[in-house]
Structure 1
Amino acid sequence: MPRRRFHAAFATVIVATAAVLSVPSIAHAATNLALGKSVTVSSTDGNPAPNAVDGNASTRWSSAYDDPQWIVVDLGSAQTVGSVTLRWEAAFGRAYQVQTSTDNSTWTNRFTTTAGDGGVDTATFTPAQARYVRMNGTQRATAYGYSLYEFEVYSGSAVTNVALNRPVAVSSDDGNPAANAVDGNASTRWSSAYGDPQWIVVDLGTGATIGAVTLRWEAAFGRAYRIQTSDDNTSWTDRFSTTTGDGGVDTVTLSPVSARYIRLYGTQRATQYGYSLYEFEVMGTGGGGPVDPPPAGDGPDMTGYAAVYDYRFGTAAGRFSNLAARFNPYGIAGTSVINNEWQRYQAFNGTNHRLTADRLELTAVANLGGVYNGGVSSGQITTKDTFYPRNGKRYIFKLRAKVPQNKRGAWPAFWMYARQAPNTSSEIDIVEIFDTPTQNTFDWTGYDHGEGVGSNFHSIMTNQWVWHPGFDFAADYHTYTLVWEEGRIFKWVDDYWVKGTNFTWQGSDPQVLINLAMGGSNNNNPNSASFPAVFSIDSFQVYVDCPGDAVTTSCHVPTG
């Protein structure tokens, strides 16, 4: 499938507020010095300059479509300035400087980049006295101008949004998943079902100290809600409550408290719809993790999981041979050719889906006219069920298999993709073994792509998407595992945790695919010695864990 560039906001997030709830403030809370201050710009394109300092994540300033462009905030008097946060719209700056001045005439560069990537950027620098702060853009990243939702200025180092890209669970969603509320993107949102109560919980990790919470509401906001914290995700302590929420941007300042979990618990909606948040931001220190992988040899923790698929393939007693009962013969491509691959996947048959006594052999052969692009048949199986870990549900997918040995152009894969209609750009590649000039059967590949991909938080790979473990995957069977909870995926090879990635599925729920492609856009071209190529499958298993609902049928049956 086509590879797409993924974006991860690399900056910490500092929160401005348009509607501050009546709670005691503390000296430790970060103050946006630019909020509501006088601002001037080089130009506008219909979105005026004050929008960039109004604390509203849905309004923006935009410039004319050329370089250079600038925006200056007058803080009103000399202040100590130590960091600036830029919340970009899609039209962002590739090259720009953050500058300060005491007279709006002589400027000092405090931060410079030529590799801006949009999203939320924070420039932290040695604190300096300044009355004026400027973003001076010298190269646009798009054909449009420069566009900022917010231009925020702080006196010291930016306080961290410890909820950014953390694991999150919700009482329900209405098509906009939970992870949208912690992705740092002001244009995506979580929305709940249309009922009370509803909640959203963020796991901050260990050692988090919380000083403030900012709720960036969509039009469907909470009239009555509580902010609560917990150390065990079971016993909750109220830290703030209101019955007069008015939407917009609400910032709650707390006496600093240590907690692993934080929850917005909504008890009364303000509209006929549910609760909808662009962002649930938690300002504090610490948190994070998992930082280190589990000890080698332990494997993923299976406590609380129950099997929904447990198929050990083969014709011998106790093995599974009725493929058509739970699988389809192909999914994405069928008998067509995509990605410049050579094979056409076939319906279940004894050549391409060969069952021995103790395994399923997905086999590629040159029997459709010869060794050429489109002249090869091969095997693929796809689950009839689809999967998505909603509402705290977690899945584990396992495949025990042996990849083809010394077969030029072979491309075995264990992956997840949406059914043909409706489609999606999201894709989870649990394992792919390429045969290229730079990769072979010594290299595990698990490169996910599409709209949902976030940043890696753990990887022992030798580069962005290859792990070379020092042994040949084709020499024996290995177990490839995906652990999927909403907002995050973890990949294992045998009992080694290889990769952890922030990931939110976009589109219809995915099915699981197991197949043997040949050739293709990323691969060498096969030759006559490539056939037959065999991807040997010993077993395929799916486990599910539903916290608080460990035995019901509704939990354990995937969608179909």
Structure 2
Amino acid sequence: PANLKGDSTRWSSDWNADRWVSVDLGANSTISSVDLYWESAYAVDYLLQVSDDNRTWRTVYQPSAAEVSARRANVQAPGDAAGLHDTVTLPSPATGRYVRMLGKERRSFYNPAPATAQFGYSLYEFQVWGTGGSATAAYPALPGEQSGSYQTTFFDDFTGTALDRSKWRVVRTGTEMGSVNGESQAYVDSADNIRTENGELILKAKYCKGCTRAGGGTYDFTSGRVDTNTKFDFTYGKVSARMKLPVGDGFWPAFWLLGSNVDDPSVSWPASGETDIMENIGYGDWTSSALHGPGYSADGNIGARQTYPNGGRADQWHTYAVEWTPRLMRFYVDDRAVQETTRDKLESTRGQWVFDHNQYVILNLALGGAYPAGWNQVTSPYWGLPQSSVDRVAGGGVQAEVDWVRVEQKR
């Protein structure tokens, strides 16, 4: 785009500094120059690198310290900022098949609400100039489907007197995780919030003004979150649970999978992948499912809403499931398919498929935050959580119930 400011098609990364975009020239080439057409979320500092094998990279250019300083000093509000056009003539021609821009530092933006001014790297065009190459770059073939029949590899029906910690890890705010999504609760390890009862797992929200300190913050609410990380991490399978959910503005129970490499700083979210089998934000008649990955995360996820047929409601028992194969994700509610996303369509339209490595199961009950607030427009007394819902939590009746969880895999 001429003004480097329009909302045109572009490549963008997640909100981390160490991110890259690469070009496959199809064959070994001699590279003389590179043009980068940046949107306003440009790299303050970056490396241009070349490779023969897409694994070992050689740095052929980096902006000077003076250029980096000037780019760093250009701080504006996102709505006012424009992009840059970098024409890089390499000090000497380089040879290789692959060329990449490896970001080292992201641009900073001024905004009265800094949380809304987080960006990765954003490029309209990445042009490589030189001689050689090929117009027929080879793409890897899709993996084949798995053989064998489904067998149960993980199951818990919560019939014990307490949570089975050989199967589940209890997640605590400030220890296993930080505060996320603008939610109001702290996750704690307490029988008040996580318990088994009558063959069910109960995740219960509690209210006590200013009573809970966690991770350097003070919280008025506590709740429960459990996962199978380090206990049962797996690749591919049918994952299902039977659940009954609390209905009310800002109650946010979820049943989901997260990539086991999420805590690796070189990966992090959303490059780890996230599979939301069921999310509910307090509406009785619908739930949602979604995939998050690089180029399709947060509000830009690949998702679908399902409405229960025949007057069904979220506070009744339902079974939620996903079938995860090397080629697709297919989501179900009560054995009714509600969303299907294939690998080839995702990669041809949205971004990289990052669902070919281990994930783990998560069950949690959040309160307020970005997703419910986007729908109910509540800002006080808590973001996404109105006083009527606070009163219900204080009254002791807000909980998510789980009858069983099962993972089946082909063997």
- TM category (shorter chain) comes to 0.5 to 0.7
Alignment of 1:195-210 (within 5 A): 202=144
Q: What is aligned with 1:146? A: 127
- Provide the C-alpha distance between the structure 1 equivalents of 2:27 and 2:261, rounded to a whole number of angstroms: 42
Gap runs ≥5 in structure 2: 1-12, 16-23, 36-51, 64-83, 89-97, 103-121, 344-352, 374-383
8 Å contact kept, 2:255–2:279: no
Corresponding residue of 2:81: none
Does the aligned pair in 1 maintain the 2:33–2:128 contact within 8 Å? no
The Cα of 1:506 is off from its aligned counterpart by: 8.1
Q: What is the identity percentage for the equivalent residue pairs of Structure 1 and Structure 2?
A: 17
Q: 1:151 to 1:470 in 2, by over 3 A?
A: farther
Aligned to 2:391, the other structure's residue is in SS state helix
Does the CA contact (< 8 Å) of 2:184 and 2:368 recur in 1?
Answer: yes
1:445 touches 1:467 (CA, 8 Å); kept in 2? yes
- Structure 1 residue 408: deviation in Å? 1.7
* Alpha-carbon distance in structure 1 between the residues aligned to 2:313 and 2:356: 31
Aligned residues: 288
| Partner Cα separation in structure 2 for residue 366 and residue 387 of structure 1 | 33
C-alpha displacement of 1:415: 1.7
**What letter is aligned with 2:360?**
Q
Which of these residues, 279, 291, 308, is aligned with residue 448 of structure 1? 291
Change in CA separation of 1:480 and 1:470 when aligned onto 2, cut-off 3 Å: closer
Distance in 2 (alpha carbons) for counterparts of 1:447 and 1:333? 26
Provide, for residues 484-532 of structure 1, a one-character-per-residue CA deviation record: whole Å limited to 9, x for no partner.
334643322221232234333488x433210101112222322323413
State the one-letter code of the partner of 2:288: T
Match of 2:398 in 1: 533
Aligned to 2:317: 477
Q: CA deviation at 1:346?
A: 1.5
Task: Decide whether the 8 Å contact of 2:172 with 2:186 is kept in 1.
Answer: no
Residues 545 and 356 (structure 1), Cα distance of their counterparts in 2 relative to 1, 3 Å cut: same
- 5+ residue gaps, structure 1, are 6-13, 19-35, 47-55, 70-86, 92-138, 169-201, 204-232, 235-302, 456-462, 547-560
Cα distance in structure 2, aligned partners of 1:506 and 1:331: 28
Aligned to 1:362: 203
Q: Note if 1:522 corresponds to 2:371.
A: yes
Measure the CA separation in 2 of the matches of 1:327 and 1:153: 50
Return the letter of the residue paired with 2:234. Answer: Y
- For the structure 1 residues 45 and 398, does the alpha-carbon distance in structure 2 shift closer, same or farther, using more than 3 Å as the test? closer
Q: CA deviation at 1:540?
A: 0.7
User: Scaled by the length of structure 1, what TM-score is found?
Assistant: 0.41
Does 2:387 correspond to 1:545? Answer: no
Corresponding residue to 2:331 among 481, 487, 491? 491
AA of the residue aligned to 1:324? R
Report 1:138-537 matches (<5 A): 141=124, 146-147=127-128, 152=134, 164=141, 166=142, 168=143, 202=144, 304-314=149-159, 321-330=162-171, 337-349=179-191, 351-367=192-208, 369=210, 374-383=219-228, 384-389=230-235, 394-405=236-247, 407-417=248-258, 418=260, 421-422=263-264, 424-425=268-269, 426-435=272-281, 440-451=283-294, 464-471=302-309, 472-486=312-326, 488-497=328-337, 498-502=339-343, 503-505=353-355, 509-524=358-373, 525-526=384-385, 527=387, 528-531=390-393, 532-537=397-402
CA offsets 1:192-251 (integer angstroms, 9 cap, x no match): xxxxxxxxxx46xxxxxxxxxxxxxxxxxxxxxxxxxxxxx99xxxxxxxxxxxxxxxxx
- Residue 312 of structure 1 aligns with an amino acid whose one-letter code is D
CA radius of gyration, larger in: 1
Residues 245 and 399, structure 2, Cα contact 8 Å, conserved in 1: yes
Going from structure 1 to structure 2, the CA distance change for 1:332 and 1:427 (only over 3 Å counts) comes to farther
Query: What displacement does 1:379 show?
Result: 1.1
- In structure 1, give the amino acid aligned to 2:206: V
Distance change >3 Å, CA 140–CA 491, structure 1 → 2: closer
Does the aligned pair in 2 maintain the 1:433–1:441 contact within 8 Å? no
Where relative contact order (Cα < 8 A, 6+ residues apart) is larger, the structure is 2
What is the root-mean-square deviation in Å for CA atoms of aligned residues?
4.9
Letter aligned with residue 447 of structure 1: A
Which residue of the partner structure matches residue 109 of structure 2? none
The answer for the alignment partner of 2:116 in structure 1 is none
The answer on whether the counterparts of 2:26 and 2:138 sit within 8 Å (CA) in structure 1 is no
d(CA) in 2 for partners of 1:328 and 1:464? 28
Contact 2:34 2:129 in 1 (8 A): no
Q: Flag the 1:140–1:431 CA change in 2: closer, same or farther, 3 A.
A: closer
SS of the equivalent of 1:523 reads helix
**Which AA in structure 2 matches 1:479?**
T
Amino acid at match of 2:324: W
| Greater helix share, structure number | 2
How far apart, CA to CA, are the structure 1 residues paired with 2:326 and 2:251?
32
Distance across 2 between alignment mates of 1:66 and 1:431: 42
- Describe the SS at the equivalent of 2:208: coil
Counterpart code for 1:467: R
Q: For 1:529, what is the secondary structure of its paired residue?
A: helix
- Structure 2 CA distance, aligned partners of 1:432 and 1:148? 47
